[in-house]
């Protein structure tokens, strides 16, 4: 995969957007992720924290990790 140029949360679309040096982009719909993964308001709050404070970590968790397992431990 090409090097990551930027990763940020777009509040207008509620998506974490990643742009790579080869011009490709990934957009993660945070609302859809929360609806699918979070079972209560505490888990939603945990995901929201990641979105606003560490969007790269959030993207890594969603794309490469196991968000269900992470939220169960939290």
pLDDT at 50: 94
Which two three-digit tokens encode residue 8? Answer: 């940020």
Pairing of strands 15-20, 25-29: antiparallel
Q: Where are the domains of the chain?
A: 4-73
pTM here is 0.88
Mean pLDDT, residues 59-72 taken together: 88
Answer yes or no: is pLDDT of 43 > 70: yes
In Å, how far are 2, 9, 24, 25, 56 from 53, measured between CA atoms? 24, 9, 24, 21, 9
> Which percentage of the chain shows pLDDT scores above 90?
84
10 Å CB burial of residue 59 (0-12, 13-18, 19+) is buried
Average pLDDT estimate for 47-56: 95
Residue 74 banded pLDDT, cuts 50, 70, 90: low
């Amino acid at each position: 995969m090409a090097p990551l140029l930027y990763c940020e949360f777009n509040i207008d679309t509620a998506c974490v957007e990643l742009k790579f040096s080869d011009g490709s982009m990934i957009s993660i719909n945070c609302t859809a992720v929360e609806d699918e993964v979070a079972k209560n308001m505490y888990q939603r709050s945990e995901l929201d924290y990641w979105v606003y404070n560490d969007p790269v970590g959030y993207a890594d968790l969603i794309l490469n990790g196991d968000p269900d397992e992470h939220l169960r431990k939290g």
